[in-house]
Every structure is written in C-alpha cells, then in structure tokens.
Amino acid sequence: MVSSNKSYKKIISDEALRLGFSHCGFSKADFLEEEAPRLEKWLNDNHHGEMSYMANHFDKRLDPSLLVDNAKTVVSLLLNYYTDERQNSDAPKLSKYAYGEDYHFVIKDKLKRLLAFIQDEIGEVNGRIFVDSAPVMDKAWAVKGGLGWMGKNTNIINKSRGSFFFIAELIIDLEIEPDKPVLDHCGTCTACIDACPTQAIIAPYQIDGSKCISYFTIELKDSIPTDMKGKMDDWMFGCDVCQDVCPWNRFSIQHNEERFSPHPDLLDMTKDDWNEMNELTFSKIFKKSAVKRTKFSGLKRNLDFLK
C-alpha cells in the first residue's frame, strides 16, 4: 500500500506504459468552462449532422462529477494504432484504425486492469473507465493533461508521436497533481485543410462533422448525398487524409499491439474482391472489427457509392 500522494502519478503512469499505452496525462476533474460555449455553438450549427447522441447529456460532457461521484482527476491515455502495413493499391480504402480488432474491446481490457492495479496499489479508489462509451470530451481532457495540442484538423497531435492514436480516460476520486497543457505547434501549416476532399475542415480548429468522409461512411444511416460523388477519395470506411498529410505524423511509429494486426486476408484484397464480397466473407474478415459498426449493408452501400 502506497501512502505518499507524490508517488501516485508515477505509479499510475508506469503501469499505463507497461500495459501498452504510449502516453498518460493527468488533469483536475473540473467543469470544462471554455469548451461549453464551443460545444453549444457546434451543436447549434448542426455540425454533428445525424449524430443525435452528440446533443445528449450536454451537462455530463462538461462536468466529470456527473459521471463519477466526487471526481478529482481525469487520467487521459493514448494508445498508438499507426501501422506501416498497407492495403492493396487498387482497393477501396479503410482507415488504419480499423485494420485490426475493435479498439473499444482492446482499450477496455487495458483500462480495467489499470483501475484494478490502482485499487490494489493505492487503496480504495472509486472510478470509471471511458472509451467512446459515455459523454466524455476526450480531446479536451487530453489537451488539459498535456498529451498534445488540438490540431487544425481537430485531432490531438503529440509532438513526439503525431496523431495516430486512440484516446481513453479513467475518471477517479483520487487527487493527483495535474499536468500542464503543451503549446500549439501547427504554426502556419494548412496541409490538413487543403487536403480534405470534402472541405469538412471549415476553418482552422473547426470541423463540420456532417461533411466528413468518416461521417458519411460510418455514422450516416441514410444514403450518402449525391453531391459527394467523386469526392470520397475512394474511402469506404473512415478517412485518414487529414492525418496522412500532417507533417507531425512523420514521427509516427509502428504500434506493438498484437490485437490491432489485420486479418491475414484483408491487405491482399483487390478492388474486385471488395466489390464481390458477400456477407459470409464480411463476417469472417471483420469478426471482431470496428467495421461491424456499419454492418455488411452499410459497407456495401459505401462500396456501391464509390463505383
């Protein structure tokens, strides 16, 4: 049992890194005062499109104490998913984060182990784990915890590792000295804005989610708008364009998470293989994948739209 508060941060960080997370940051679990008007405007401008869940639980998104009683600290974690592996050059494109097993399962397993470790090593600590599963503004907390800055493409960019990572949180009732935010290093670069095929980045640090290729290929349940024809850059699930062109991603390194390895058949599939895919093949290749979110019918809709 550890009694020194000064040791808590190192104990938790060391275990997080041992579990495979690439970075760990701490912030005070206060109300997100600066984010409140930004979120309200984003919703009022309908930049969430048909993602109605984004408008739910407005107060909970801004106040961690409504998610965890007596919340004191938000522990933010990054898990690298960058890979040098690539699909067949003529195949419709799949976002790199979806090559392997669904990250929700992978990260939840790690977070459960981390919370159990904290409770074993430090004592009675109440907390909850979060991986896109509750109204938590993960990017805002990652910035507060010093894990990176909000890029002009609205992704979190880490100076040493770029932006190809998942963000997750532990909100706990243990007080830990917060980390300090880092400086914005986007400078005058507009590579992400210039490269976005659908002009979803409407201004630096502002994204219209309802214009994003990821929205059209994953979140949208209706037909993809016909005015997007020819603008999808051959993406069938998600989109990596604004990250692929970001200069900071030259520092990205191959992940070492075995569960993110792609299905053996995935990378070799040709354009014809994708277009001729049946439901049985879909179930086999994407058995534990995030691609199952869009279902076979959704993926076929996306593939048909690209023809």
With respect to residue 150, please indicate whether it lies within any of the assigned structural domains: yes
Q: In the predicted model, is pLDDT for residue 9 greater than 60? A: yes
Reported as a single tens digit per residue, the pLDDT across 174-218 is: 999 999 999 999 999 999 999 999 999 999 999 999 999 999 999
Alpha-carbon distance of 173 to 24, in angstroms, equals 17
Model confidence pLDDT, tens digit, residues 129-186: 999 878 899 999 999 999 999 999 999 999 999 999 999 999 999 999 999 999 999 9
Query: Is residue 223 one of the residues assigned to a domain?
Result: no
Residue at 192 is within a domain? no
Q: Is 132 a catalytic residue?
A: yes
Whether 238 maps to a domain, the answer reads: no
Examine residue 243 and state whether it is found in any structural domain, yes or no.
no
Could you tell me which of 248, 131, 141 has the C-alpha nearest to residue 185? 248
Half-sphere exposure of 217 (CA within 13 A, CB side): 29
Residue-level pLDDT at 168? 97
The whole-number pLDDT of residue 4 equals: 53
Over residues 114-123, mean pLDDT: 95
Contact assessment for residue 136 and residue 61, using Cβ atoms and an 8 Å cutoff: yes
- For 201, phi then psi, to 5°, come to -85, 95
Residues 209-233, buried b or exposed e (16+ Cβ, 10 A)?
bbbbbbbbbbbbeeebeeeeeeebe
- For residue 23, being part of any structural domain is answered with yes
How many structural domains are present in the chain? 1
pLDDT category of residue 58 using cuts at 50, 70 and 90 = confident
Contacts of 241 (CB under 8 A, 6+ apart): 192, 195, 196, 197, 213, 233, 235
User: What mean pLDDT is predicted for residues 293-307?
Assistant: 95
Q: What is the pLDDT of residue 3?
A: 44
Q: pLDDT > 90: what percent of the chain?
A: 86
- Dihedral angle sign, alpha carbons of residues 5, 9, 10, 12: positive
Residues 6+ apart with CB under 8 A from 14: none
**What's the chain's average pLDDT?**
93
pLDDT value, residue 52 = 66
Q: Name the strand (E) or helix (H) holding 271.
A: helix 271-275
The answer to whether residue 60 scores a pLDDT higher than 90 is no
CA angle in degrees (0–180, nearest 5) for 134-37-44: 80
pLDDT confidence of 2, banded at 50, 70, 90?
A: very low
Report the alpha-carbon distance of residue 212 to residue 222 in Å, rounded. 15
The Cα-based distances of 154 to 159, 179, 214, 247, 263 in angstroms read 15, 21, 14, 15, 30
Domain span including residue 50: 5-172
Residue 148: inside a domain: yes
Choose, from 132, 194, 234, 272, the residue flagged as catalytic: 132
pLDDT of 167? 97
- Check whether 78 has a pLDDT greater than 50: yes
Inside any domain, residue 242: no
Over residues 20-29, the pLDDT tens digits come to: 999 999 999 9
Per-residue model confidence as pLDDT tens digits over 90-118? 999 999 999 999 999 999 999 999 999 99
Run of H or E residues at 201: strand 201-203
Label residue 21 exposed, middle or buried (CB < 10 Å: 0-12, 13-18, 19+).
buried
Task: Let me know: does 157 contact 246? Beta carbons within 8 Å.
Answer: yes
